[in-house]
Amino acid sequence: MAKLCRPWLSASACLVLVTACQLAASDALPEVKPEARIAILRAEIARHDALYFRQAAPEISDSEYDRLKEELAALERAHPELAMVPPASPGFDDRSGRFPTARHSEPMLSLEKVYDEDALRSFYARVSREIDRDGITFIVEPKIDGIAISVTYERGRLVRAVTRGDGNEGDNITENVLTIEGLPRELAARGGGDAPELIEIRGEVYLTFDAFARINREREAAGEPPFANPRNAAAGTARLDDPDAVAGRGLQIAFYGLGACEPASARPASQQATLARIAAWGLPVVDRAVVVCDAEVLWQTVCALGEERAGLAYPTDGVVVKLDDIAWRAKCGDSPQGPRWAVAYKYAPRRAATRVRAITIQVGRTGVLTPVAEFDPVDLAGSTVARASLHNRDALARLDVRVGDAVFVEKAGEIIPEIVAVDRGRRSPESAAFVFPETCPACATAVVSGEGGALVRCPSEACPAQVRRRLEHFASMAAVNIAGLGPATIGALVERGWVDDPADFYRLERAQVLGLGADVVVSSDALLSAIERSKSAELWRVIHGLGIPRVGETTARDLATVYPDLAAFGDLSAADFDAAGRAAVLDLGRATEQALLFWFAEARHRALVRDLAGQGVGANATYRAQASSSALAGKVVVLTGRLEHLERDEAINRIRAAGGRVVASVSRRTDYVVAGENPGEKLARARELGVPVIEEAAFLRLLEETP
């Protein structure tokens, strides 16, 4: 079992060793004095701390950051006279400056990190010596990759939720955290779990991989850059200014420990008892907690969890090993950097070395130019990858990737291939920095820089690359789902001038499709039939397929509950969002409303909608007839808690099929709150506003009334 982990470790160690050897072998590089290198490292680490913790926009991978911290620690050990007195802060501070701050009743410290078997065994041996006994019990838990949070309950009622901040105080993001499904406003009292007078409960706010993928799809559909990984997405979501927008993202939370507890006698005696007590209060806890009493079993458990993490629904970059007995923890004490009775074991990233063969520029549906590195194919985390996004002009410049470079590739959050480092020691002297184009590579239009300068766009909607991407989006499974209309077929249609916008699909003649050739279209009859079937696609699919900025799948579904058909939607105007009409239409938020009105202000967009409607697209007569006779037709529904007979996605789909609208938060416009097991704060909010609350049985009866 132990050997399973060694390849991951050797990849990381080899990179450090190669870099060190290159520096040692180079006669041209001047010797850097320890004090100068320490100053450089401190400044660089501080900059990356600000990017990671406060802006949720890291420039380097976690492993690269950890190596900087390791190098600094090694230099300070070798030169104690250069170490900071008092010791430097643990390095974290996620206070953003955009939220009021609140102090933790008990400091919320970070954890010491270890990266290999020897260091983990040394930790186990040290704690055993300090406790002065063998076979002590440790708990091994997954280290969820999100943002640390401390939630305080006073007399059983939630009063604040605060990020870790600098360990002493953090951002007060209570309103946003209260939108998280399954987080109760009041603690339950079951199984002997009566709440103490005051209790700080520590946990992690995160996004599942599925939620992360959905958010990125919606961001790309809205013309916004995707998040690099689930951790960045969770951090950005938790600090949005609009709690309703937070609710729509689907944040999750899991708790694993306690801070301050009053009275102290109410504190559980062990980590096992702590997790049981948190669960008894009705809070979600980490889903794995393995008990180990032996150093060998500890290592085997760490390796086994490392193998399992690829199948988890949430991101994790390691495990946390904690002494189980609370009294023994006091004997170990704390260091300035964190508790001495716990350690975080970080799995080395699954990394591959390869060589960049080209850097290409992709033009997206909204005109954004994205640099992409094409490299020699490598096997990485169970799949073969040969390309990786370089995100934008500024990110490319910071990383300074060049054609011909030897690079290291990882999967960010175990999902997205990402170049994390360039081996500059192997760079050719003839290498030249990549020059970002000043004109669109697809249409030669002069590009423009967006807000902040990082995003570069082609402003021409006639750009053939944008036209192809818009058509691909309309025909995709996420929109009207025209089987057989893939990129190659659409490219051929655009090249011949037969298709310029989605309405042109419905004017294609059989002779034209046959003219594309069998190498482009396998069956012309099948393609024409698929195009005809797409006319009856649900209205929300057609709206989503139009590619309106800020109108993703969720907003498109909401709009489809208001407008009976595409023709009515095409008449959208400012009157739909004025003070009198807002309640009758939707409360989409000002940014989305403005995006809709701006899009419809373009004559060609209004003409496109009229053209599609005139050809019978988006009529949905059968769907409307069914929905109009349903008990839930036109109703706004909020779900809270776990339903016994329906999975959440199934419940949402059933409500939408009945003509209802599912929203994330309770307001005075909500018609029903469906309360399942362990409902969250939405139940209290519904009672506060007088919104009808129904249990699952009544909800199922309403669904049964749907034809």
Q: Find how far residue 172's CA is from the centre of its chain.
A: 21
143, 322, 346, 635: the active-site residue: 143
Comparing CA positions, the residue from 183, 316, 171 lying closest to residue 240 is: 171
Q: Which residue has the tokens 């808690």?
A: 641
Under DSSP, the state recorded for 707 is: -
Q: Where are the beta strands (DSSP E) in 552-691?
A: 636-640, 661-662, 672-675
Give yes or no for a contact between 170 and 256, defined as CB atoms under 8 angstroms apart: no
> Which residues are CB-contacts of 465 (< 8 A; sequence separation ≥ 6)?
362, 363, 440, 441, 442, 443, 458
Three-class secondary structure assignment of 59-120: CCCHHHHHHHHHHHHHHHHHCHHHCCCCCCCCCCCCCCCCCCEEECCCCCCCCCEECCHHHH
User: Using CB atoms within 10 A of its CB, is residue 61 exposed (0-12), middle (13-18) or buried (19+)?
Assistant: buried
Give yes or no for a contact between 658 and 633, defined as CB atoms under 8 angstroms apart: yes
Give yes or no for a contact between 577 and 593, defined as CB atoms under 8 angstroms apart: yes
Three-class secondary structure assignment of 244-267: HHHHHHCCEEEEEEEEEEECHHHC
Give yes or no for a contact between 391 and 421, defined as CB atoms under 8 angstroms apart: no
Token readout for 122 is: 């040394």
Kindly tell me the number of DSSP H helices and DSSP E strands found in the chain: 25, 24
Look up 143 and say whether it is catalytic: yes
Give yes or no for a contact between 344 and 256, defined as CB atoms under 8 angstroms apart: no
Pairing outcome for strands 342-346 and 113-114: parallel
Query: What are the catalytic residues?
Result: 143
